[in-house]
């Protein structure tokens, strides 16, 4: 039976599930960060490169400029490690190269990355606060909806749900009393309109999305 000590990176335990995310942090201080989703894990070749074109495994979900990654990296690490500690799994830290992230935590990270990929850098603190204010189940649901319609790193960028997530997390003011209220109200309104504000006619679900 897999143990919590078997976890790689941020909570990825291959013996329990091969489905995971990877954050690739290249050497140097200028190159972009790639976050990809993987449905298989090969211990012989664990760091197989991800791509934009692979629709089945190892597809890059988002590309973040280094400056934007640096703006969220510490807060995200703290949040992921808080969650891991709560379940008795060893914590992780970001390193140059491939960083493994457990499936559900990876979905939450990608959601935040989608929100800031095309955003004004000045709005990133607001996005972080709104993201932190969401319950984990809300993050999973929003990832699933966005990924099904506009989950590709390139073709889904700045469209439909991806655009809506950016507006909701970065352009709504937050308060100490209820930092996620404006965000949730926007999403509730979208559901009332049959999500018409969040998708385009040519958006189709991804074949590999699960809850």
Estimate the crossing angle of helix 66-86 against helix 103-116, to 10 degrees: 150
Task: Assign 24 to helix, strand or coil.
Answer: strand
Using the structure block, give the residue that is written with the tokens 């640096």. Answer: 70
Q: How far is CA 17 from CA 24, 134, 165, in A?
A: 20, 25, 28
Please give the model's pTM, rounded to 2 decimal places: 0.81
pLDDT along the chain (211 residues), means of 10: 77 95 94 94 82 75 96 98 96 96 97 96 96 94 92 88 93 57 48 37 39 37
Task: Assign 63 to helix, strand or coil.
Answer: strand
Structure tokens at 180: 């996620």
Using the structure block, give the residue that is written with the tokens 């400029």. Answer: 65
- Confidence (pLDDT) at 116: 97
- Confidence (pLDDT) at 174: 57
The CB-side HSE value for 142 (13 A sphere, CA atoms) comes to 30
String of DSSP letters for 86-105: HTTPPP----SEEEEEEHHH
- Confidence (pLDDT) at 152: 85
Domain ranges of the chain: 4-198
- Confidence (pLDDT) at 43: 87
């Amino acid at each position: 039976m897999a143990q919590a000590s078997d976890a790689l990176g941020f909570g990825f335990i291959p013996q329990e599930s091969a489905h995971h995310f990877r954050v690739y942090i290249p050497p140097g201080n200028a190159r972009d960060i790639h976050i990809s989703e993987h449905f298989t894990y090969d211990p012989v070749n664990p760091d197989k490169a991800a791509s934009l074109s692979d629709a089945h495994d190892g597809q890059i979900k988002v590309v973040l400029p280094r400056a934007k990654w640096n703006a969220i990296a510490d807060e995200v690490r703290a949040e992921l490690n808080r969650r891991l500690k709560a379940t008795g799994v060893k914590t992780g830290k970001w390193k140059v190269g491939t960083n493994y992230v457990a499936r559900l935590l990876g979905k939450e990270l990608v959601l935040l990355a989608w929100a800031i990929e095309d955003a004004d850098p000045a709005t990133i603190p607001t996005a972080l606060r709104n993201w932190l204010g969401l319950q984990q189940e809300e993050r999973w649901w929003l990832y699933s909806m966005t990924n099904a319609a506009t989950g590709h790193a390139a073709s889904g960028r700045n469209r439909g749900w991806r655009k809506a997530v950016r507006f909701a997390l970065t352009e709504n003011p937050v308060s100490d009393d209820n930092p996620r209220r404006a965000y949730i109200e926007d999403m509730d309104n979208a559901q009332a309109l049959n999500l018409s504000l969040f998708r385009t006619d040519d958006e189709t679900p991804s074949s590999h999305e699960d809850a």
